[in-house]
């Protein structure tokens, strides 16, 4: 593959000794699969279901992010509505503070949210709006937290948007009345977004072990729960790329230790639960954990073994948002007998890629912030049978007659935990073994 000069440091093969250049702004003209700072903030805070999420700017940013995450709520559905100040030319000329204040008054009066987040889009700072000042005014008027999220799209990468979202969450946790004494045998689930109900499943495991879940950040999130989060005894950080910053800040401020875990795949799920039991539980917790892992594993293994017989030796490529999901997927695919031949992420860091290389087989392609042409080249040269990614990656696989599994946040199928592993295996099986591939013009050569 003839890489752009500026992209040559961002693609390597495991074992070739080259470090990956990561964490940079996307190369102009490269057609990155990444979105922007706003996107990073929006996806992290989105699942908070009793908050008002107001996008301050022209209408597009709100339109593109209306109800696009399969993040479920057990109660209010306010997060699934998309609010915008719908800035027009007059506001661009005269400033948008008045219309922002008006929008907040109208929407808070109409929906009675527990708090409001105001996302700044690209032009807000450029036209000189003081979003923080408007938020303070409205907070004083309405009595609910009104929190500015500095998510101007151009200000950095998606990762900077995660940071802005973590700042907003910390702001909520630091309010008067938040926090309190530590709850024994308790955790926060940090960085699960309850896509297709996954947070509920993880919570049910922990509860069966006798561990209380104080808050899930932010899946099925509620403002009250988030404000109670400083009382947890441990933070279990799943989406490490977006939430480690928050966990570190909570450690520094409230002395809450954190552990990076994953609930994708059997091994990682079991390891996460044992870790939680070990760190906040007692002998009884550990016994219950053993029993839970044993019974859950026993329930899913026969089906996984059956599916594995058709998948053994197949070749997979994956391109996902964060590095920790990539780690888990490499292991989960191995459990199905499949080999990862290409792995990339939008937001991984240099250390993450070194770890990823250590997990995969030698020669596996590793890529940071890749693009459609690179992906298409990798899928072809590595003779891939399965591609795992999101909506923007799907047509690349399908055009080439390659199976695809959506592991992004728009999916409707829960893929976490023990039960999720079976759903994942079934989806992979359904796509990889479909008879339609035998009709396609491009026939893969057996490796």
CB under 8 Å to 283, separation ≥6 — which residues? none
Please say which residue, 297 or 377, places its beta carbon nearer to another protein: 377
How many CB atoms are located within 10 Å of the residue 17 CB?
Answer: 8
Residues 243 and 192: their CA atoms lie apart, in Å, by: 10
Among 15, 16, 66, 112, binds another protein (CB under 8 A): 66
DSSP state of 404: E
Residue 44, CA distances (Å) to 72, 192, 349, 370, 379 in order: 14, 9, 19, 22, 30
| Residue 21 sits in the site that holds another protein (CB under 8 A) | no
| Residue 28 sits in the site that holds another protein (CB under 8 A) | yes
Dihedral angle of Cα 329, 330, 331, 337, to the nearest 10 degrees? 110
Please say which residue, 36 or 293, places its beta carbon nearer to another protein: 36
Residues 115 and 178: their CA atoms lie apart, in Å, by: 13
| Residue 431 sits in the site that holds another protein (CB under 8 A) | no
| Residue 249 sits in the site that holds another protein (CB under 8 A) | no
Label residue 109 exposed, middle or buried (CB < 10 Å: 0-12, 13-18, 19+): exposed
The region of 37-45, 219-227, 254-262, 283-291 touching another protein under the rule CB under 8 A is: 37-45
Q: Which of residues 89-128 bind another protein (CB under 8 A)?
A: 89, 91-92, 98-99, 102-103, 106-107, 122-123, 126-127
Residues 356 and 231: their CA atoms lie apart, in Å, by: 34
Please say which residue, 359 or 400, places its beta carbon nearer to another protein: 400
The region of 81-89, 215-223, 312-320, 421-429 touching another protein under the rule CB under 8 A is: 81-89
Please say which residue, 306 or 399, places its beta carbon nearer to another protein: 399
Q: Which of residues 123-142 bind another protein (CB under 8 A)?
A: 123, 126-127
| Residue 1 sits in the site that holds another protein (CB under 8 A) | no
The nearest distance, CB 435 to another protein, in angstroms, is 15
Residues 389 and 340: their CA atoms lie apart, in Å, by: 13
Compute the radius of gyration of the chain from its Cα atoms. Answer: 22
The nearest distance, CB 122 to another protein, in angstroms, is 4
Please say which residue, 61 or 330, places its beta carbon nearer to another protein: 61
Q: Which of residues 144-163 bind another protein (CB under 8 A)?
A: 153-156
Please say which residue, 25 or 290, places its beta carbon nearer to another protein: 25
CB under 8 Å to 265, separation ≥6 — which residues? 328, 329, 331, 332, 335, 421
The nearest distance, CB 189 to another protein, in angstroms, is 27
Among 87, 214, 293, 415, binds another protein (CB under 8 A): 87
**Mode of pairing for the β-strands spanning 258-260 and 212-218:** unpaired
| Residue 62 sits in the site that holds another protein (CB under 8 A) | yes
Please say which residue, 38 or 263, places its beta carbon nearer to another protein: 38
| Residue 399 sits in the site that holds another protein (CB under 8 A) | yes
Q: Which of residues 172-231 bind another protein (CB under 8 A)?
A: none
Please say which residue, 59 or 359, places its beta carbon nearer to another protein: 59
| Residue 262 sits in the site that holds another protein (CB under 8 A) | no
Q: Which of residues 375-394 bind another protein (CB under 8 A)?
A: 376-377, 379-380, 391-392, 394
Please say which residue, 54 or 147, places its beta carbon nearer to another protein: 54
The nearest distance, CB 372 to another protein, in angstroms, is 5
Provide the CB-side half-sphere exposure for 262 (13 A, CA).
21
Q: Which of residues 42-61 bind another protein (CB under 8 A)?
A: 54, 57-61
Please say which residue, 295 or 434, places its beta carbon nearer to another protein: 434
Q: Is-cis flag, bond preceding 218, omega within 30?
A: yes
| Residue 88 sits in the site that holds another protein (CB under 8 A) | yes
Please say which residue, 253 or 442, places its beta carbon nearer to another protein: 442
One DSSP character per residue, 144-200 reads: S-EEEE---GGGS-HHHHHHHHHHHHHHHHTSTT---SPPTTEEEEEEE--BTTHHH
CB under 8 Å to 8, separation ≥6 — which residues? none
CB under 8 Å to 216, separation ≥6 — which residues? 188, 189, 192, 194, 199, 203, 225
Region of residue 15 (phi > 0: left; psi between -120 and 50: alpha; otherwise: beta)? left
CB under 8 Å to 191, separation ≥6 — which residues? 217, 237, 238, 239, 240, 242, 243
The nearest distance, CB 126 to another protein, in angstroms, is 5
The nearest distance, CB 395 to another protein, in angstroms, is 5
Report residue 47 as tokens.
Answer: 């699942």
């Amino acid at each position: 593959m003839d890489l752009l000069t500026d992209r040559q440091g961002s693609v390597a093969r495991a074992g070739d000794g080259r470090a990956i250049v990561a964490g940079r702004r996307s190369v102009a003209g490269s057609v990155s699969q990444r979105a922007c700072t706003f996107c990073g903030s929006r996806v992290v805070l989105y699942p908070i279901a009793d908050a008002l999420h107001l996008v301050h700017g022209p209408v597009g940013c709100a339109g593109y992010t209306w109800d696009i995450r399969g993040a479920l709520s057990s109660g209010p559905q306010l997060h699934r509505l998309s609010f915008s100040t719908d800035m027009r030319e007059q506001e661009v000329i005269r400033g948008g503070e008045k219309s922002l204040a008006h929008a907040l008054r109208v929407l808070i009066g109409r929906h009675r949210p527990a708090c409001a987040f105001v996302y700044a889009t690209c032009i807000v700072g450029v036209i000189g709006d003081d979003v923080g000042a408007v938020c303070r005014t409205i907070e004083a008027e309405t009595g609910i937290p009104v929190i500015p999220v500095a998510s101007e799209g151009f200000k950095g990468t998606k990762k900077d948007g995660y940071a802005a979202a973590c700042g907003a969450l910390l702001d909520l946790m630091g309010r008067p009345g938040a926090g309190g004494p530590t709850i024994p045998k308790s955790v926060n689930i940090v960085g699960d977004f309850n896509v297709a109900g996954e947070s509920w499943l993880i919570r049910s495991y922990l509860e069966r072990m006798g561990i209380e879940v104080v808050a899930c950040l932010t899946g099925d999130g509620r403002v009250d729960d988030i404000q109670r989060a400083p009382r947890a005894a441990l933070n279990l950080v799943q989406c490490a790329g977006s939430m480690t910053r928050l966990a570190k800040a909570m450690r520094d401020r409230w002395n809450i230790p954190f552990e990076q875990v994953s609930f994708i795949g059997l091994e990682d799920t079991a390891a996460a639960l044992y870790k939680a039991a070990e760190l906040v539980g007692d002998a009884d917790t550990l016994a219950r954990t053993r029993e839970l892992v044993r019974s859950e594993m026993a329930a899913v293994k026969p089906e996984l073994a059956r599916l594995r017989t058709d998948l053994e030796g197949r070749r997979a490529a994956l391109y996902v948002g964060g590095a920790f999901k990539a780690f888990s997927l490499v292991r989960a695919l191995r459990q199905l007998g499949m080999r990862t031949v290409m792995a990339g992420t939008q937001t991984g860091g240099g250390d993450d890629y070194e770890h990823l290389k250590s997990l995969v087989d030698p020669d596996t392609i590793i890529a940071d912030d890749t693009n459609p042409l690179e992906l298409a080249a990798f899928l072809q040269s590595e003779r891939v049978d399965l591609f795992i990614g999101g909506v923007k990656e799907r047509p690349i696989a399908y055009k080439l007659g390659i199976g695809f599994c959506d592991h992004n946040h728009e999916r409707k199928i829960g893929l976490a935990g023990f039960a999720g592993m079976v759903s994942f295996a079934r989806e992979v099986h359904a796509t990889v073994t479909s008879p339609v591939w035998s009709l396609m013009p491009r026939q893969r050569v057996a490796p």
